[in-house]
Chain A
């Protein structure tokens, strides 16, 4: 048993922290959050040059052959700093789906470009229900000759407004059970009939409505097998959940660090507020949540990376972190008092992400259902 990071992982963590402090200060975070596109091409290029996009892709597709755990370490730092932009959607949602289910041509084409920072991809999964179930997928892809015509509405699609491609999960069989009726399509967002509207979310993280109105897709753009998209998506959901946990752990750590520093400096009643027990106890609770979150996330990430059966580990991580980051962010706000309630202060940036992260890729109750099944109840 070894719960430490390797030297390379420590270096990755350290260099990512330093790079982001310098290249993605909060001023830029706010600018990007406020603007429609939500990302900086300059920063994007720098991250690509550092090999961040291809970190967990095999070398033959332009990546550096790192592990899923390596990627989560990087994501933790990105969550610590907050890095607006389509990194998560492209690298995790888009890239990992293509890596898992794409054919050689798709993998070579897309992953190399993603690794170089030349392609932005997202995944259009949830629909009006806002859930992650096969029956909820009503978007339909109907075949005529060699072309499918897609009609439907997807909601909460990250970065669809700037994506070059979006992977769309659609129903292709209307007689079989939903779990055996879904197919993943690689769709060019410039295709006629696609309409993207950015939703105004709490974290301003460019989740979009994507309407498909008779959108044509050739059958060669199916990713994976016809009607066998759902098992792929189930796997990606697990990876995405853990990857999101990693970001959230970073965000929780940042919230803790800010609150502790403030508690040491803020003087009231002639002494730092961090010398009062109530504040000390909040901080103790926060670091307990942060540390607990980190280790349960590492365990899940390691298990995923080893290719081992991971349903329990993934759901435990997401169920715990989903609650924990919210608790940490709320306590941090409490410590900051009124000043934390201003737009100028950074704390709300984290709170917003705590609430958003909790929902994405399965909320606490969704994952508890899975855990209950895994417990054999």
Chain B
């Protein structure tokens, strides 16, 4: 057992840190747009940054080099992800989706043409995808989705509606899950398609989130014709392909690292703020709570490291990924709450308010916290996975 990193890995960490410090434009920190707070301006900065990352092979480091990746191992990728997240580099959800969900799935299930057409461009940061999974009547019960793809000649015709589709208004393509067999049991009638968002018949309608930002959308497909070749993998096997691809990339240290950043913001605040003549950092309750939070964040980090180590040792993770996500998301909620308790009134102030503290970060984190633990699989679903897949508890 060894909790240290190799000299090479440590050097890599410092290299990444240094590079981030030089490459992130100051404007990015001013805008301070975290998850679900994206604006057109933040989007542009992110996309440009991602192209810079791509030039180093660091946008899609897991991909083989012939596809624009760096063939990077799990531990180094963990380090890269942790540093990017902690130092708040402009690497957004759209990257996660394109690189880790779509790109990885294409590498596993796509045909040669699809791999060549899309994967290098994903790795170069040239194209992004939105994910067309959820529907108004299919959230946690995703397999019940109804959007249809009917085979006709050398095309598929798509009809239906997707919802909570992040960045559909900005994405080049949609990674779409649609029903191709209405007779089969629900899990066995789903297929995956790549859909060019410029295809006629697609309407994107914004949904404004509670951070008052346009992140996600409704997407309507009205007789959208796509080439048959846009089917990814095996027809009607889409559910299983996606499930397998998701498993691979759920180490997600981003939330845990982001939590550590929030903790450091709070530590900095209490060390520099007096209340009633005393430093907040001297208050025993605050000390106790921050210590508890620091402990949780360290446990969370260990959970993420464990997953990366398992993969690096040739093991496959099972419930560990769900556990990592679950724990980090609940920590996120707790640290948002702790921040609010510590900041008091100041914790209610938004970024552009007079007297705002830390760019209104705490206020916005409290709101954002309502989506962490819902998006990407609710915490209840994660617990179901841990219980049934991890502990073997029965479904019925």
Contact = CB atoms under 8 A, between A and B. Distances in A.
A308 to B, nearest CB: 9
A279 to B, nearest CB: 7
B344 interface: no
Interface in A292-342: 292, 295-296, 298-299, 302-303, 316, 319-320
Interface size grouping (class) on chain A: 35 or more
A320 B299 contact: yes
Nearest to A320: B295
Contact of B309 (A1, A277, A281, A320): A1
A283 B390 CA distance: 10
B393 A263 contact: yes
B4 interface: yes
A287 B393 contact: no
B295 A377 contact: no
- Interface SS of chain B: helix
A296 B327 CA distance: 14
Contact of B303 (A275, A292, A303, A376): A292
B291 A369 contact: yes
A356 interface: no
Contacts of B306: 3, 291, 295
B362 to A, nearest CB: 18
A369 B326 contact: no
A288 interface: yes
B356 interface: no
Contacts of A375: 267, 290-291, 294
A371 B291 contact: yes
Interface stretch (B160-168, B184-192, B381-389): B381-389
Given A271-B396, A368-B291, A1 B4 contact: yes
A5 interface: yes
Given A283-B391, A295-B299, A371 B294 contact: yes
B58 to A, nearest CB: 20
Contacts of A296: 295, 298-299, 302
Contact of B323 (A287, A370, A372, A377): A287
A41 interface: no
A285 interface: yes
Contact of A292 (B270, B291, B302, B313): B302
A1 B73 CA distance: 12
Contacts of A260: 391-393
Nearest to A367: B291
A376 B296 CA distance: 17
B84 interface: no
A284 interface: yes
A377 B3 contact: no
Contacts of A5: 1
Contacts of B298: 296, 316
Contacts of A60: none
Nearest to A260: B391
Contacts of B383: 277, 280-281, 284-285
A1 B74 CA distance: 11
A69 B3 CA distance: 12
Nearest to B283: A377
A1 B305 contact: yes
A292 B4 contact: no
B395 interface: yes
B326 A288 contact: yes
Contact of B393 (A279, A303, A365, A367): A279
Contacts of B19: none
A33 B278 CA distance: 50
B391 A372 contact: no
Contacts of A277: 380, 383-384
B60 to A, nearest CB: 23
Given A2-B309, A299-B302, A319 B295 contact: yes
B291 A302 contact: no
B287 interface: yes
B292 interface: yes
A46 interface: no
A275 B393 contact: yes
B353 interface: no
Contacts of A369: 287-288, 291
A267 to B, nearest CB: 11
B391 A287 contact: yes
Contacts of B390: 284, 287
B393 A377 contact: no
A274 B394 contact: yes
A252 to B, nearest CB: 14
B288, B292, B295, B306: which has the most chain A beta carbons within 10 Å?
A: B295
Nearest to A3: B309
Contact of A372 (B290, B296, B394): B290
A207 B313 CA distance: 44
Interface in A224-256: none
B394 A264 contact: yes
Contacts of B394: 264, 271-272, 274-275
B281 interface: yes
B291 A283 contact: no
B345 to A, nearest CB: 22
Contacts of B305: 1, 3
Among A283, A365, A367, A370: residue with most chain B CB under 10 A: A283
A281 B390 CA distance: 12
A372 B1 contact: no
Nearest to B395: A275
Nearest to B390: A287
B393 A372 contact: no
Most chain A CB within 10 A, of B282, B291, B303, is at: B291
B271 interface: yes
Interface string B277-320: 00001100011101110111011101101100110010000011
Given A260-B393, A371-B295, A372-B288, A284 B1 contact: no
B348 interface: no
A372 B390 CA distance: 35
A9 B1 CA distance: 10
Interface string B342-386: 000000000000000000000000000000000000001011101
Interface of B: 1-5, 9, 75, 267, 270-271, 281-282, 286-288, 290-292, 294-296, 298-300, 302-303, 305-306, 309-310, 313, 319-320, 323, 326-327, 380, 382-384, 386-388, 390-396
5 contacts: A280-B384, A283-B387, A296-B298, A302-B1, A375-B290
Top 7 A-B residue pairs of the complex, sorted by shortest distance between their CB atoms = A280-B387, A371-B291, A368-B291, A372-B287, A284-B383, A284-B386, A274-B393
Given A2-B313, A274-B394, A302-B2, 13 more contacts: A280-B387, A281-B384, A284-B323, A284-B387, A285-B383, A287-B319, A287-B386, A288-B326, A292-B327, A303-B3, A316-B298, A376-B271, A377-B287
Interface of A: 1-6, 9, 69, 260, 263-264, 271-272, 274-275, 277, 279-281, 283-285, 287-288, 291-292, 295-296, 298-299, 302-303, 316, 319-320, 364-365, 367-372, 375-377
